């Protein structure tokens, strides 16, 4: 890897960022629903250079038994980075970082899941990072939330997640790898579409005013992501519909 000198790196060129984005612009986003046949619900997401796949299993029986809760379902979230997901090979297996991300991501999603509908069961969420480019936890949460909906799990809403950062004293939306590594702050946010924040972390330093600006910007990003999450789910259904070629003239409904 080319050693970058932290002191003289320019994050902006003609008012645009290194990848040509504006400060408040998201990276290109692609969401695909139902990519895994064996999972109850699944989702593949690309957020810029991030490639993440999420699989949801359950509700199903809890193993080991002692984790079981009598009145509600438990949620297990496993965030894992593939060894080939980063430039330098990542030692496979859980580490301090992935334990933490699993915990905060689970806590970002749990408030919207109606766990009381499925006592004594478990909802397993697996998030695999295939390619990392800063903001994998947010991509993972976005994918997991769509996969949960795809699995037919009752939820109060989806969760959308997006980060804001500070580079060269400017607040930017959805930082990419260079900005994350050499920037001054990183602030991932997850929220429901009506603005309830379920995850807020900060790495680096921001003044109170900057924090407000960054949270506001990240929330705006979440709203944009929500629209795409929504669209991907609705599109999956219309695909089903076109597959079975529905004649238009039918009037009678039966169920």
Binding site for another protein (CB under 8 A): 40-41, 58-61, 70-71, 112, 114, 117-121, 149-158, 192-194, 229-230, 233-234, 237-238, 240-241, 244, 246-247, 250-255
User: What is the enclosing helix (H) or strand (E) of 16?
Assistant: strand 16-17
At its nearest, how many Å lie between another protein and the CB of residue 55?
A: 13
Q: Whole-angstrom Cα distance, residue 53 to residue 32?
A: 9
Nearer to another protein, 100 or 235 (CB): 235
Q: Whole-angstrom Cα distance, residue 82 to residue 90?
A: 7
At its nearest, how many Å lie between another protein and the CB of residue 150?
A: 6
At its nearest, how many Å lie between another protein and the CB of residue 198?
A: 13
Nearer to another protein, 123 or 206 (CB): 123
8 Å CB contact between 232 and 33: yes
- Which ranges in 47-125 belong to alpha helices (H)? 96-109
Nearer to another protein, 61 or 100 (CB): 61
8 Å CB contact between 50 and 177: no
At its nearest, how many Å lie between another protein and the CB of residue 110?
A: 14
Nearer to another protein, 21 or 236 (CB): 236
Nearer to another protein, 21 or 230 (CB): 230
- List, as one string, the DSSP characters of 110-175: GGGB-GGGSTTEEEEEEEEEEE-SS-HHHHHHHHHHHHHHHTT--BSS--EEEEEEEETTEEEES-
User: Among residues 189, 181, 90, 167, which one has the least CA distance to residue 133?
Assistant: 181
At its nearest, how many Å lie between another protein and the CB of residue 113?
A: 9
Q: Whole-angstrom Cα distance, residue 16 to residue 3?
A: 23
User: What is the enclosing helix (H) or strand (E) of 235?
Assistant: helix 208-243
8 Å CB contact between 81 and 131: no
At its nearest, how many Å lie between another protein and the CB of residue 118?
A: 6
Nearer to another protein, 77 or 118 (CB): 118
């Amino acid at each position: 890897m080319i050693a970058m000198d932290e002191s003289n790196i320019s994050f902006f060129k003609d008012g645009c960022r290194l990848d040509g984005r504006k400060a408040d612009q998201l990276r290109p986003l692609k969401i695909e629903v139902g990519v895994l046949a064996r999972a109850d619900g699944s989702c593949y997401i690309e957020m810029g250079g991030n490639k993440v796949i999420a699989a949801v299993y359950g509700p199903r029986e809890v193993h080991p038994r002692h984790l079981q809760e009598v009145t509600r379902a438990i949620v297990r979230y496993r965030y894992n980075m593939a060894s080939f997901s980063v430039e330098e090979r990542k030692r496979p297996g859980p580490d301090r970082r992935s334990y933490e991300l699993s915990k905060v991501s689970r806590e970002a999603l749990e408030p919207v899941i109606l766990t009381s509908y499925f006592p004594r069961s478990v909802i397993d969420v697996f998030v695999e990072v295939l390619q990392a480019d800063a903001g994998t936890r947010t991509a993972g949460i976005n994918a997991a939330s769509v996969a949960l909906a795809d699995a037919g799990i009752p939820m109060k809403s989806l969760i959308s997640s997006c980060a804001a950062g500070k580079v060269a004293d400017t607040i930017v939306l959805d930082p990419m790898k260079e900005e994350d590594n050499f920037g001054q702050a990183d602030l991932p946010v997850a929220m429901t579409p009506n603005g309830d924040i379920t995850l807020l972390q900060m790495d680096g330093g921001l003044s109170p005013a900057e924090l407000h600006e960054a949270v506001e910007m990240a929330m705006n990003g979440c709203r944009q992501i929500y629209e795409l999450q929504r669209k991907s789910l609705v599109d999956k259904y219309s695909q089903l519909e076109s597959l079975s070629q529905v004649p238009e003239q039918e009037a009678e409904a039966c169920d």
